[in-house]
Amino acid sequence: MLNKILFLIVVFFSNVIQCITGFAGTVLAMPFSVMLVGFDAARPILNVLGLLASVFVLTVGFRYVDKREFVKISSVTAVGIVLGVFLKDMLSWFDRALYIMLGIIVIAFAVINAVSFYSKKERKKTNPIFETLILIAAGTVHGIFVCGGPLLVAYASKKLPDKERFRSTLSAVWIILNGIIAVSDVLGGSFTGETLTLTFWSVAALAAAMLVGNLIYKKMSRKAFLNLTYVLMIISGISLLLK
């Protein structure tokens, strides 16, 4: 029971960040969630919460969506999603390996994204092939862990420097990607009776997080919260490696 209460607390705080930045909610919640309720329960629940959080953000910021980037990101990452779902089933017997892999991914891309975002050097134009590979990799990671955010941020922080466009466009993308995974989870029987009950309470925690997050978003800069997000991503990644 205590683990489930702690899980709801994790859901609340991680989705406050999700509401503010348009990403990072799941990648922050996943490491702690797998320790509290297990990977099989955490993954489908956090995916549904990510979907609902994105719907909320998009509802209040639809006009800021960059339609060209939305179509590009969604179509390319969808390819990776299919690969990720396939790999998830192959790796289902290696929970420890999944934890370590996720921890390394979270730490590595938190550091890479932070250095890239705050670098004072003039950024070189990225190779289109490399951009495509980043998006496919983001979809693959999202298909396995439901947290391809760090990889997408590496791409989107250069293409969508404006705070509103960044937040709203990524939220629109998550609706597509998380929707694909949600259908896969339902068809695959991931939602047991216990998982559905925990999902119900998690949605209540999410609703509170969206209200708080939106209030904070209006008053604080994206830079300030990206600082916090990158620090929390590193902490969550380390905690998963030490599990």
pLDDT digits 0-9 by tens, 34-54: 889 998 899 999 999 999 999
Residues 6+ apart with CB under 8 A from 62: 168
Residue 199: what are its φ and ψ, rounded to 5°? -65, -40
Q: Tell me: pLDDT of 233 over 80.
A: no
CB 140 within 8 A of CB 82: no
pLDDT number for residue 103: 77
pTM: 0.79
Other Cβ atoms less than 10 A from the Cβ of 90: the count is 9
Find which of 40-44, 104-108, 202-206 is predicted with most confidence, using mean pLDDT. Answer: 202-206
pLDDT number for residue 92: 63
Q: Tell me: pLDDT of 113 over 90.
A: no
Q: Tell me: pLDDT of 76 over 80.
A: yes
Confidence of residue 154 (pLDDT cuts 50, 70, 90): confident
| 124 three-state secondary structure | coil
Q: Tell me: pLDDT of 110 over 80.
A: no
**Sign, Cα dihedral of 83, 23, 48, 13:** positive
Q: Please report, for residues 44, 86, 190, the alpha-carbon distance to residue 197 in angstroms, rounded to integers and kept in the order given.
A: 13, 27, 13
Residues 6+ apart with CB under 8 A from 10: 29, 32, 33, 36
Annotated domain spans of the chain: 2-241
* Residue 14 identity: S
Confidence of residue 87 (pLDDT cuts 50, 70, 90): confident
Q: Tell me: pLDDT of 169 over 60.
A: yes
Average pLDDT, the chain: 85
Q: Tell me: pLDDT of 122 over 70.
A: no
CB 222 within 8 A of CB 229: no
The mean per-residue pLDDT over the stretch 92-105 comes to 72
Give the range among 45-59, 82-96, 190-204 with minimum mean pLDDT. Answer: 82-96
Confidence of residue 100 (pLDDT cuts 50, 70, 90): confident
The mean per-residue pLDDT over the stretch 97-109 comes to 76
pLDDT number for residue 204: 96
